[in-house]
Amino acid sequence: MTIDVNKENYDKEVLESSIPVLVDFWGPKCTNCFALLPTVEQLEKEYKDKLKVTKLDASQNRRLCMNLKVMKLPTILLVHNGEEVDRIKGEITPEQLTEKVNTFMNQNS
Amino acid sequence: MPEPEMYDLIIIGGGPGGLSAGIYAMRAVLKTVLFEMGMPGGQMGMSDEVENYPGCELIGGDELSKKFLKHAQSYGLEMISQKVKAVEPGLEFHSVQLVTGDSMRTHSVILATGGSPVKLNIPGESVYYGSGVSYCAVCDGFFFKDKTVVVVGGGDSAAEEALYLAKLAKQVYLVHRRDTLRAGMILQQRVKAECKIEILWNSIPTAINGDDGEVNAVSLKNTKTGDQRELATDGVFIFIGFEPNNILVPTGTKLNTDGFVITDEQCATNISGIYAIGDLREKYAKQIVTAAADGCTASLSAAHFVEKKKAIADVCEAPEDL
């Protein structure tokens, strides 16, 4: 199940996670973010308990975004063992996202 | 292997043009499918507010997109979220190839792939994309709350986005290469009345600079005097026009020198059964209302074209003794 993350639980859910994590930064007016949603959900189903999928509403977590240097929506962070392994930002196609996550999972699971 | 499915019309692109085309195609009882790889609404969905679509005095771009989509879906329009690889024109039918390797056959095609923001192509622009450089104020504006931003451009989009950013940012500099704005008069008046916006006339950005992975300044050159200066900023929003997304336009289609598709008044290209609408085609006004009008025109014309084609095929296939 997708977990909503914010400044309160980011460290626990993302940085301290024992499994690889996908953080999906979205905003209520970001249509490109909504377009990626089915792909993110599909990836979550595919990897089940091997990948933790989290969502972060950037409009409600501006300071956290600044700290993470996220200034573009959509942005997807791929994190493992507390380290950012990959960052995908801007105009991301579903195919590109799937490919990046597959590579990430091959290398980190 | 079974033959690929045959459609009357394939629409590529789900902005206001494509969705309007879908509505008219369904009303004309054409077997139609629409491909949209992103979120239906296209550029319209990225507008904060739309206040020039007749019948809607003030509406959010995302809300208007939803209304277009709902309207099209109310007629049962088939929509597929899949990337199209190529459109191959044929004499009997056209083929639409998908990235999955699948292929679809159709009597007619409406290309509604819109446009993409033109880039400045200056040092730092691609390096800081997503780290202070943006082409969408509605998407990324809130990252710049109480900060200083530079908006580049002088047309309607630049003026609208500068006004949107003025609601969030501490200071907005509107950098324009000429000494007058191209934006409509009502927008010009609003920009000039907004105390948070300062217009830097006769100026072009020559580089976007940063530190620690984030934008911190933009280098500007005065087009009249040649003087150079550095302006501290947290973000740079670029709205200097749109270039057509013409990658799917088949070879042999007439384009103008800027790459926009040349059509007749029915939005028909020089290739029989292939139409281009909205921001993809050469025309004077690129607006939601004109994209929607193009969608209507192209679908009505396609319906006539398909009907005629089928009638001819029926005559040709009729037994001789009839």
Question: Which ipTM was obtained for this model?
Answer: 0.71
Half-sphere exposure of B236 (CA within 13 A, CB side): 34
pLDDT recorded at residue B57: 87
The 10s digit of each residue's pLDDT in A34-78 is 888 889 999 999 998 999 999 999 988 988 998 898 988 999 999
Alpha-carbon distance of B189 to B191, in angstroms, equals 6
pLDDT recorded at residue B318: 64
Confidence of residue A23 (pLDDT cuts 50, 70, 90): very high
pLDDT recorded at residue B138: 82
Tell me if residue B297 falls in helix, strand or coil: helix
| Residues of A noted as catalytic | 30, 33
pLDDT recorded at residue B1: 59
pLDDT recorded at residue B234: 95
Strand partners, B242: B117
pLDDT recorded at residue B232: 97
Half-sphere exposure of B108 (CA within 13 A, CB side): 31
The answer to whether the CB of B32 falls within 8 A of the CB of B9 is yes
Contacts of B170 (CB under 8 A, 6+ apart): B146, B147, B148, B196
Fold classification of B6-116+242-317 is: FAD/NAD(P)-binding domain (3.50.50)
Written as six digits, the tokens of B113 are: 């792939």
The beta-carbon neighbor of A62 closest among B60, B99, B143 is B143
pLDDT recorded at residue A79: 96
Fold classification of A3-108 is: Glutaredoxin (3.40.30)
Alpha-carbon distance of B98 to B78, in angstroms, equals 16
Whether residues A71 and B99 touch (CB distance < 8 A) is answered with no
Q: How many residues appear in chain B? A: 322
Alpha-carbon distance of B124 to B114, in angstroms, equals 27
CATH number of the domain at B119-238, please?
A: 3.50.50.60
Counting as low any pLDDT under 70, the low residues of chain B are 1-2, 317-322
B contacts of A84 (beta carbons < 8 Å): none
Whether residues B39 and A94 touch (CB distance < 8 A) is answered with no
